[in-house]
């Protein structure tokens, strides 16, 4: 789509959506990027904004929510169910999910996280402990993980072989062969444990 057509679609959505049928609006939305849709939502009055958002496919909602400013983002999130929100964000990058979830009430956030895989839930929970705008750097880096059958000596050698550890690393994840979360291993435990010990002997489980 060229820039002229894109601009025309955006202007039509903002200025004329009240005169269009729902199908016409859907067709326009389908031609727009998530950032363009977000701009249209932010430029529309609340009633029109809610209508436009309701016409999006669930799989499109996450990308659009990420592009929105916090106030409008949270206002729209309050209008959808936990199940719909979880479905909307599931394909986003982890730092994008953190950006959306970090402003939710704690109880609602827990319900959203409960529907995710253990490894994703743990990674997001770690990201949520950092100040706003710092989680992205952590979550965009591959999370360091080890197997439960590894010895502490092997883990130490592995860590020393890394060119750089993710910033603020104080623990690593223990996962099985299917990359499913089993527990955590703190850096302090690695340093103070006998090298011959096995990860499963000292890892923390929740």
Per-residue pLDDT at 137 exceeds 50: no
Query: Distance (Å, rounded) from C-alpha 193 to C-alpha 139?
Result: 28
Alpha helices in the chain (DSSP H): 3-16, 22-30, 34-42, 46-54, 58-67, 70-77, 82-89, 94-101, 106-114, 118-128, 135-139, 152-160, 187-192, 199-202
Among 40-54, 106-120, 136-150, the range of highest mean pLDDT: 40-54
Per-residue model confidence (pLDDT) at position 8: 65
Per-residue model confidence (pLDDT) at position 159: 85
Query: Distance (Å, rounded) from C-alpha 175 to C-alpha 117?
Result: 12
Q: Residues of the chain with pLDDT > 70: what percent?
A: 81
Kindly report, residue by residue over 167-197, the tens digit of the pLDDT: 667 888 888 877 778 888 999 999 999 999 9
Per-residue model confidence (pLDDT) at position 143: 65
Per-residue pLDDT at 162 exceeds 80: no
Per-residue pLDDT at 139 exceeds 70: no
Confidence band, pLDDT 50/70/90 cuts, at residue 202: very high
Per-residue model confidence (pLDDT) at position 141: 41
Per-residue model confidence (pLDDT) at position 130: 58
| Burial class, 66, CB count within 10 angstroms (exposed 0-12 / middle 13-18 / buried 19+) | buried
Q: DSSP letter for 163, please.
A: S
Query: Distance (Å, rounded) from C-alpha 88 to C-alpha 64?
Result: 10
Per-residue model confidence (pLDDT) at position 97: 86
3-state secondary structure at position 178 = coil
Per-residue model confidence (pLDDT) at position 84: 92
Kindly report, residue by residue over 92-104, the tens digit of the pLDDT: 887 788 888 888 9
Confidence band, pLDDT 50/70/90 cuts, at residue 13: low
**Mean pLDDT of all residues in 135-159:** 73
3-state secondary structure at position 114 = helix
Q: Which two tokens stand for residue 182?
A: 């089993």
Region at 166 (left for phi over 0; alpha for psi -120 to 50; beta for the rest): beta
């Amino acid at each position: 789509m060229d820039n002229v057509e894109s601009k025309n679609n955006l202007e039509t959505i903002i200025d004329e959506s009240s005169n269009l049928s729902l199908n016409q609006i859907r067709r326009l939305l389908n031609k727009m990027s998530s950032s363009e849709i977000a701009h249209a939502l932010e430029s529309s009055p609340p009633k029109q904004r809610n209508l436009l958002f309701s016409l999006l496919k669930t799989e499109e909602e996450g990308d659009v929510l990420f592009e929105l400013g916090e106030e409008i983002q949270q206002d729209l999130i309050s209008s959808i169910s936990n199940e719909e929100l979880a479905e909307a964000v599931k394909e986003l990058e982890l730092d994008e999910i953190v950006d959306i979830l970090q402003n939710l009430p704690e109880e609602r956030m827990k319900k959203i996280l409960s529907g995710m895989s253990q490894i994703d839930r743990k990674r997001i929970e770690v990201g949520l402990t950092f100040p706003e705008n710092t989680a992205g750097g952590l979550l965009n880096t591959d999370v360091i993980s080890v197997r439960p059958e590894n010895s502490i000596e092997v883990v130490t050698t592995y860590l020393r072989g890394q060119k750089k550890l993710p910033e603020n690393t104080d623990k690593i994840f223990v996962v099985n062969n299917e990359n499913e979360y089993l527990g955590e291993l703190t850096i302090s435990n690695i340093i103070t444990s006998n090298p011959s010990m096995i990860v499963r002997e000292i890892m923390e489980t929740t």
